[in-house]
Homo-oligomer: A and B are copies of this chain.
Amino acid sequence: MYGNMMQQPLLISSLLQHAERHHRDAEIVSRRTEGGVFRYTYADLAARCRRLANVLQGLGIQQGSRVGTLAWNGYRHMELYYAVSGHGAVVHTLNPRLHPDQVVWIADHAQDEVLFFDTTFLPLVEAIADRLKTVKAFVLMTERQHMPQDSKISNLLCYEDLLENASSVYAWPGLDENSASGLCYTSGTTGNPKGVLYSHRSTILHSFAVALPDGMNCSATDTILPVVPMFHVNAWGLPYVACMVGAKLVLPGPNLDGQSLYTLFEAEGVTLAAGVPTIWQGLLTYMRENGKRFTTLRRTGIGGSACPPSMIRTFQQEYGVQVMHGWGMTETSPLVTMGVLKDKHTGQDPEKTLALQAKQGRAMFGVDIKVLGDDGNEIAWDGKTPGELMVRGNWVVSSYFLSDETATLVDGWFPTGDVATIDADGYMQITDRTKDLIKSGGEWISSIEVENIAVGHPGVAMAACIAMPDLKWAERPLLVVIRKPQMDLREDELLQFFEGKIAKWSIPDEVVFVDQIPLGATGKMLKNKLRESLATHKMRVRAK
């Protein structure tokens, strides 16, 4: 027997319609690649999305067609999010930081039919346009005045011209809520990139979870600035959440250095920002060096890679900004866990709270987590025993897009490739990537644990811990460190810093100081590259 309630599909166009009706004059403020700041309202956004949907129609985009974007966080990218998905097509956010060959491979694999891109990426697109077999039209996201006089791209269209000439009348189609709405490729460190095809339903349910008080806690009194790129797992869903709750949205454009961000935070009264630790490191450094304070920022979502406890402490204790440490992947939309407290933690010792917040957090309703031992059985939630983290739920991938990898799931759970513990309260902590674990004398050493301690030292800017082969112990940890400017940190000094903070056998045998650590397109350290470049490094044998 069915209930007698109305049946309305969960659609991305409903988010836009909600914002247009109920938050008409809430603002979207964007830094433009062409310079300057652009501001308009949700009512303006909705009106322009209707024009854009007509443009897509005119370009032959049908339900299910893929539309590629190479763009920063800006209002036109936001328009593509809503117009493409609302029209029933799939917005495919390409990562412009990837190698051009990879961009070509991915756009080709996705069969993108139109490519929209910011002025920043004109050289990139000019270099690869001929190789993009399925792309029928290239649209530069700018006005006529910023169009190149002469481009290598023969069929280059102007975004604003297209919109100006399009009808403003468009009715968002009714769609099956399980229809594909967005596509994002994981830039895996091994093998070809794999596409995750989101649906309207998964996007809406994920947005609800992200907006919850124990998610990123978003309301109409917030001004939200996603530093995390819209080409990186949909900026953690915040462009959708903003419409759902009617928050003011600030889109930072291409410049994500500390000064640019800080200026924007203060000018627009940002209350909630979200990004990866490396970005926040830049912001905090700028603020410390220039004696700045936040006047409006209340909370920051941190994820993408583990947030060092020292950063949580700095944000909370020095700047009064609450850190919400989360975890997720492209395959999980991304938010699965958030490091937020429970009633039982109220009034506990702040150091305990800090330790808890350093974990990646507990599962939100709608998804579930577990850890599996080598034997494939679920490990008890003791907060100690690590195992492979498995995830399932309404916004978790079930298979990759147009992929031969059929056996992605294990018993209906997605294997993340992360190693984690879960404690009795459900708080999960990533101890490592499966492939980054260091096995020494039969014991596992967590590279992340070692790195977190290292970056807690005032002289360390960045640190990576990798396994080196060892005749006696099988593997031993090597610590690779970038010093902070003007700091002459010595190896013995840094190794001493580990004493008492970690099991003795987990302390690295050696520190190598470098000028650079290779970063991937999403800002994560590429430890496989490090391992390659240090393959011939001879470890010093140390007294144990």
Chain A residues with CB under 8 Å of chain B are: 1-8, 10, 14-15, 17-18, 21-26, 63-64, 90, 176, 178-181, 196-202, 205, 208-209, 211-214, 217-223, 244-248, 333, 340-346, 362-363, 365, 368, 392-401, 412, 414, 424-426
A7 to B392, CA, bound (A): 10
Contact B179 A3 (CB under 8 A): yes
Q: Which 3 A-B pairs have the closest CB atoms?
A: A3-B199, A1-B64, A213-B219
User: A18 contacts B368, CB within 8 Å?
Assistant: yes
Closest Cβ of chain B: how far from A264's Cβ, in Å? 16
Contacts of A212 in B (CB 8 A): 208, 211-213, 219, 245
Knowing A197-B4, A392-B6, the reply to whether A245 touches B400 (Cβ < 8 A) is: no
Residues of B within 8 A of A214 (CB): 219-220, 245-246
Q: Are B4 and A221 in contact, CB atoms less than 8 angstroms apart?
A: no
CA distance A90 to B3 in the complex (A): 9
Chain B residue with the shortest CB-CB distance to A177: B3
Least CB separation from A246: chain B residue: B342
Copies of this chain in its oligomeric complex: 2
Q: How far is the CB of A246 from chain B (nearest CB, A)?
A: 7
Q: How far is the CA of A212 from the CA of B200 in the complex (A)?
A: 20
Assess A199 versus B2: contact at CB under 8 Å? Given A245-B365, A363-B22, A365-B245: yes
Q: Is the CB of A5 within 8 A of B363?
A: no
A10 CA / B399 CA spacing, docked (Å): 21
CA distance A5 to B219 in the complex (A): 27
Asked whether, in the complex, the Cβ of A3 is within 8 Å of the Cβ of B202, the reply is: yes
Chain B residues near A8 (CB, 8 Å)? 392-394
Q: Is B343 a contact partner of A247 (Cβ separation < 8 A)?
A: yes
Residues of chain B within 8 A (CB-CB) of A425 are 24-25
Closest-CB distance, A266 to chain B (whole angstroms): 16
Task: Note all chain B residues with C-beta closer than 8 A to A26.
Answer: 342-344
Whole-angstrom distance between the Cβ of A56 and the nearest chain B Cβ: 16
CA distance A209 to B209 in the complex (A): 10
For the complex formed, measure the closest distance between the CB of A387 and the CB atoms of chain B, giving whole angstroms: 16
Cβ–Cβ < 8 Å partners of A399 in chain B: 4
A334: shortest Cβ distance to chain B, in Å?
12
